Chain A
Amino acid sequence: MSDFRRPETIEEYYENFAQIKPLMNATAAYYESSRCLFCYDAPCVTACPTGIDIPLFIRQIGTGNVTGAARTIYSSNYFGHTCGKVCPTEVLCEGACVYNHQDVKPIEIGRLQSFASTEALSKGERLFIRMPATEMKVAVIGAGPAGIACACELSALGHHVEIFEAKSRPSGLALHGTAPYKITNQEVLDEVTFLQEQLGFQIHYNQPIDTIREWKDLDSAFDAVFLGIGLGETRKAGIPGEDMKGCIGATEFIEGLKTSPLETWVGKQVIVVGGGNTAMDACSESARMGADVILLYRRDKDSMSAYHFEYDMIRDAGARAMFNTVVIEIRGNEKVREVVCSKTIVDNGNLSIAPDSSFILPCDMVIKATGQEKQTSLLDLFDIQYDGKGCIVTDEYHRCGETKYFAGGDAVNGGAEVVNACAEGKAAAQSINRYLLKEK
């Protein structure tokens, strides 16, 4: 049984989805900063995809220079606040903290980062200086973390940047795909507003670039283009019955919940299929919506790609898990009623169905967290090269061959963390800058 009651009001919803990394107060931040050892060649910095000078910003918090701390953070990562809250710090900076080798609690780097960024954001401190304006125009497709990070860096370098976003709100998966208990929508939106105010790039919402004409217009109007198009919808799982009402992709479910929490339908008995972090989010979130949740994963627990702490969190939320189990068929009468499952056997890594092992689990909702589609049709339109998995092929400078197209984020790496997209978007911007200076 779920440990949560289905929320009836927005207050109850916020209660069920309370922040797991709540904001520190100044005293807590000061005390926590005091514990940092200021390691030489600090492993937390190495572990951060954006290479934030973590010991420096922690020391700055400790000396009462919180604005300086925020400056340190944002000089490496434009999504300083979002990443402080949504990064899997347990496997990145905090996981690398040397205290782990001493059985001492690692420094709460993520929360310290959010403390500094919150202070700077709420005061509207000026953190960035724009270089003198150039004549160069860059288009960014997709206002996700990669696209916005790229736009920020290019704007700071003085270029004119316009972002084209298919949806009505910015930040991509940082807004639509992160669990509500990691960060609130308002925080994500506030950070983008802050960045726009400081750096001045434009975002055109509800403007997908998905026709030849739109693309041609864009191609001729801009000196360079950055593709931060992310991933598409949840891919088909190939399970009979998956088009039935009550069966939904995890990305779509999570987005729905983030957009309109109380209007989003959640079943009473939910089956989640998958073993990645998105599957964990779907479990956690449906459980917090009061559902009785069972996670089904085809291999054993240790084979899941999800972080162990994400799995711990679904257990804490009251979800159960069944391993070495696959869904053979989704059954129902227009609406999902039950799933037929089988146990699996793993032999030398090869998966097979155990004979005579099928059983039925009643349910009214199936959430598939079986990966997202690549946006290959869009890439075909732009004539951008992609690999067998549908990931954009770039050189080490994030450039798509000998073109004026650059790319970064999930569309290139196949789906990683927000912080990876931030790092790639910024690095691509620096390549674009070099490209523009050379072309001119």
Chain B
Amino acid sequence: MANLQSYLAGITSPNPFWLASAPPTNSGYQVMKAFEAGWGGAVWKTLGIPVVNVSSRYGAIHYRDSKMIGFNNIELITDRPLSDNLREIEEVKKFFPDRAVVASLMVQSREEWHQIVKDVENAGVDGVELNFGCPHGMCERGMGSAVGQEPHVLKTITEWVKEVATVPVIVKLTPNITDITEPARAAAAGGADAISLINTVQSIVGVDLETFVPQPEVDGYSTHGGYCGPAVKPIALNMIKSCAQDRHVGIPISGIGGIENWRDAAEHLVLGASNVQVCTAVMHYGFGIVRELIAGLEEYMNNKGFQSLDELVGRSVQKVRNWEHLNLDYKITASIDEDKCIGCQLCYIACEDGAHQAIGLQKNGSRKPYIIDENCVGCNLCSLVCPVENCITMVRRDDGDSQSTWIDYVNQGKAPDTFNDDRAGGKHHFVPPPSRGLKKSLKH
């Protein structure tokens, strides 16, 4: 049986599923409910000098019949007095001693940092998370992502905290930066015990085309917010991978960004996160989703024969290489299962208009398209647009014996180096003449 017991830089929890610092951890009432539902830990809504919030605060991207595939907020850190939060932290921790309670913090001066770290430690927290990620409202006041975007400042503040902290210190990073490893390295250099990422991505989530006011609207105006939800998972996965691969970072990672189900969580874990934090999915569906997260991850680990999370964490980190190390001799082409094909011809038009004209239509009245093998570059597009599970698969065509990367190409003089080079990759691919594009009658 898989054991989901989780460790992050010395902080233990019965499972790797934590609530991220956000509205679901605004109060002891909510965290109590969450722990009773089964969450392994909670990062408290960021504490500091309480703010005043606006209404409204959220906007979302809906895609077809799916609600909130992307979510955006302009809410700030806690608007509740520190003493109330401390009292509730203490109460929750007493009731659930086995769960991880981490205080997210955001203040300005060294004295303030020292004071608030001591306050939350007195309340019984298992760790602190420094909010260097919030990309709206607080950054304009020199906090949040303003710190996360300045590695030197980030390092200094981390050092201030480490001067007094007796519990593990996690630094939460902003993705609103070109190279995530820079602040990650600075955190490590400042003595952080772990990093957590990603915080939200700066965003305008949409515009009301009647009033021309972007969303969310506050009395005729809007402001940029922080983007999160399922849509940001790929951004998070890439940044987690980058930090996990960087030997100068070298500290554990708490993965955040677009986690809604066990698969999302497992992807974060295999790319190097030791645990994960969830917010938007809880704001959408409530604390109950943890049932699916725990059951799904357990089932998966049992099927894979993994006893503990250690066997899972980071398993995919070495599977990501820079582009120039990929094998250019690896060749696949698409294959359509005629028995499964329903004849929507989406693969045809996707390849025809958006790729390499490698799919043909039969002239015998059948709606089932066929692959023109010699034109197929193996890009996957057709298999991605196909609405039928496993109808279009990618089949390996090379013998698997040869390996030749871009680096090899350069070293062996096989890489094109002039504009009209004969060695251009697409030189011998079939491309129809432009005039033939006109003769195609437009069909809907």
Judge whether B344 is part of the interface by a CB distance below 8 angstroms. Answer: yes
* A359 touches B (CB below 8 Å): no
B336-348 vs A, Cβ < 8 Å mask (1 yes, 0 no): 0000011111101
With an 8 Å Cβ cutoff, the count of chain B residues facing the other chain is: 15
Do B346 and A38 touch across chains, with their CB atoms under 8 A apart? Answer: yes
User: Which residues, 300 to 339 on A, are CB-close (under 8 Å) to B?
Assistant: none
Q: Does A41 contact B (CB under 8 A)?
A: yes
Known: A40-B349, A62-B64. 9 other contacts (CB 8 A): A34-B64, A39-B343, A41-B345, A55-B444, A56-B444, A98-B367, A101-B341, A101-B343, A102-B342
Task: Name A residues whose Cβ lies closer than 8 Å to a Cβ of B.
Answer: 30-31, 34-35, 37-43, 45, 53, 55-56, 62, 98-99, 101-102
> Cβ of A40: which chain B residues have Cβ within 8 Å of it?
344-346, 348-349, 443-444
Contact for B344 among A30, A31, A39, A45, CB less than 8 A? A39
| Residues in A neighbouring B344, C-beta threshold 8 A | 37, 39-40, 98
Expressed in whole angstroms, the Cα–Cα distance for A39 and B349 within the complex equals 9
Q: Name 30 A/B residue pairs within 8 A (Cβ), A-sorted.
A: A30-B65, A31-B65, A34-B64, A37-B344, A37-B346, A37-B387, A38-B346, A39-B344, A39-B346, A40-B345, A40-B346, A40-B348, A40-B349, A40-B444, A41-B345, A41-B443, A41-B444, A42-B444, A43-B343, A43-B367, A53-B444, A56-B444, A98-B342, A98-B343, A99-B342, A101-B341, A101-B342, A101-B343, A102-B387, A102-B388
B354 to chain A, nearest CB (A): 12
Report B338-390 residues with CB < 8 Å from chain A CB.
341-346, 348-349, 367, 387-388
A-B pairs, top 10 by smallest CB distance, nearest first, are A34-B64, A40-B345, A101-B342, A34-B65, A40-B349, A41-B443, A98-B342, A39-B344, A98-B344, A31-B65
A3 to chain B, nearest CB (A): 35
Residues of A within 8 A of B342 (CB): 98-99, 101-102
How far, in whole Å, are A72 and B202 apart by their CA atoms in the complex?
A: 39
Interface residues of B in 383-402 (CB under 8 A from A): 387-388
Shortest distance from the beta carbon of B391 to any chain A beta carbon, whole Å: 9
A60 CB → nearest B CB, Å: 13
User: With A and B bound together, what is the CA distance between A45 and B444 in angstroms?
Assistant: 9
Give the distance in Å from the alpha carbon of A347 to the alpha carbon of B367 in the complex.
38
CA distance A55 to B346 in the complex (A): 12
A102 to B349, CA, bound (A): 20
Bound complex: CA A99 to CA B387 (Å) = 10
Interface centre among B65, B348, B388, B443, by most chain A C-beta atoms within 10 angstroms, is B65
* Assembly CA distance A53 to B341 (angstroms): 23
CB distance from B385 to the nearest CB of A (A): 9
Q: How far is the CA of A62 from the CA of B345 in the complex (A)?
A: 21
* Interface-central residue, A45, A53, A102, by most chain B CB under 10 Å: A102
Residues of B within 8 A of A43 (CB): 343, 367
User: Once the chains are docked, how many angstroms separate the CA of A9 from the CA of B20?
Assistant: 62
Tell me the smallest distance from the CB of A27 to a CB of chain B, in Å.
9
B284 → A minimal CB distance (Å) = 17
Q: Kindly state the separation between the CA atoms of A31 and B444 in the bound complex, as whole angstroms.
A: 22
A31 surroundings in chain B (CB, below 8 A): 65
B-chain residues with CB within 8 Å of residue A56 when the two chains form the complex: 444
Q: Which residue of B lies closest to A103 (CB)?
A: B342
Question: How far does the alpha carbon of A101 sit from the alpha carbon of B345 in the complex, in Å?
Answer: 13
Q: Find chain A residues with CB under 8 A from B388 CB.
A: 102
Q: What distance in Å separates the Cβ of A136 from its nearest Cβ neighbour in chain B? A: 32
- A55 neighbours in B (Cβ, 8 Å): 444
Least CB distance from B22 to A in Å reads 29
Min CB–CB distance B39 → chain A (angstroms): 32
Which of chain B's residues 205-230 have a Cβ closer than 8 Å to chain A? none
Q: Which residue of B lies closest to A62 (CB)?
A: B64
Residues of B within 8 A of A99 (CB): 342
Q: Type the 1/0 row for B35-65, where 1 means its CB is closer than 8 Å to any CB of A.
A: 0000000000000000000000000000011
**How far is it, in angstroms, between the C-alpha of A53 and the C-alpha of B345 when the chains are bound?**
16
**Least Cβ distance of A109 to chain B in Å?**
14
Closest A residue to B65 using CB positions: A34
Residues of chain A contacted by B341 (CB below 8 angstroms): 101
Chain A neighbourhood of B345, CB < 8 A:
39-41
